Homo-oligomer: A and B are copies of this chain.
């Protein structure tokens, strides 16, 4: 693996392409690791591809969404966890792909569990985005957990050296969301933000812009398939974009007395600001601390 791994699509390898075995995947540079599920590129620090095969009960393949458990820590004969997974190598590579918004190639093997598998061998199934990264426990050991979601085909990279194809100018009919900070917020989030007058509950900043002020509605326990948090005001915080990002990535957590802690240092930095009429769900805060705050 002296050569840097390719991030994104491999030129000449469209989704749906079949491969006889893992040697063929390696030769095509689609997935260059024969032993592990995650192809980790040491040079960039990014995971570039995963293989879904072997039918680990930890993994759930819904087609366009995948709940994926990290590598190592399992007994290869039984599939049971026999030691903690660590945030190193492939697991850390997937976490960095999550942090950088970097796409991951997904390959499905005939012996996987899922709604649409190849009849034999392996099939390259396109580019996915790591949309969640969290910690869980299985058989008494720590596991690294990821959610991957299929990227729309018109936002898909077509290979190295063609970066300009990814950005949107080639697709005038569609704006990618990648670089736009204008997001739609649901009514419930708009209501919470207004109640706090767009003031961040963590740092107290109120970002003033022409025409008003801006803030973001941040879910404490995330919505979606894996975490299934409720979309109610008590599961929302009004945060500035920076603290929203820090909170979502587990750099900060909040205890039951609403003290705010920095995960990396273990030091408190203040108390969550509250307003009358907007209660905070303490169970959601505990969930966030236990599952979203990942180890070093």
- Give A281 to B234 CA distance when docked, in angstroms: 44
Indicate if the CB atoms of A166 and B183 lie closer than 8 Å: no
| Interface 0/1 of A247-276, CB less than 8 Å to B | 011110000000000011000000000000
Indicate if the CB atoms of B210 and A87 lie closer than 8 Å: yes
**Is A291 among interface residues, defined by CB-CB distance under 8 A?**
no
Given that A187-B7, A211-B99, A245-B181 are known contacts, is A223 also in contact with B129, CB under 8 Å in the complex?
no
**Is A17 among interface residues, defined by CB-CB distance under 8 A?**
no
Stretch from A31-39, A77-85, A113-121, A201-209 contacting the other chain = A201-209
Per the CB 8 Å criterion, the residue count for chain A at the interface is 86
Indicate if the CB atoms of A166 and B181 lie closer than 8 Å: no
Contacts of A222 in B (CB 8 A): 180
- Give A101 to B102 CA distance when docked, in angstroms: 26
Indicate if the CB atoms of B210 and A164 lie closer than 8 Å: no
**Is A216 among interface residues, defined by CB-CB distance under 8 A?**
yes
**Is A132 among interface residues, defined by CB-CB distance under 8 A?**
yes
Indicate if the CB atoms of A210 and B241 lie closer than 8 Å: no
**Is A190 among interface residues, defined by CB-CB distance under 8 A?**
yes
Closest chain-B Cβ to A248's Cβ sits at a distance in Å of 5
Indicate if the CB atoms of A242 and B207 lie closer than 8 Å: yes
**Is A189 among interface residues, defined by CB-CB distance under 8 A?**
yes
Indicate if the CB atoms of A179 and B217 lie closer than 8 Å: yes
> What are 10 sample pairs from A and B whose C-beta atoms fall under 8 A apart?
A101-B185, A132-B182, A157-B186, A163-B191, A176-B184, A179-B219, A179-B236, A208-B251, A209-B245, A209-B250
Given contacts A96-B211, A209-B251, 13 further A-B contacts (CB under 8 A): A8-B187, A95-B211, A164-B232, A166-B188, A169-B230, A179-B185, A179-B189, A181-B248, A205-B242, A209-B249, A210-B249, A240-B242, A241-B245
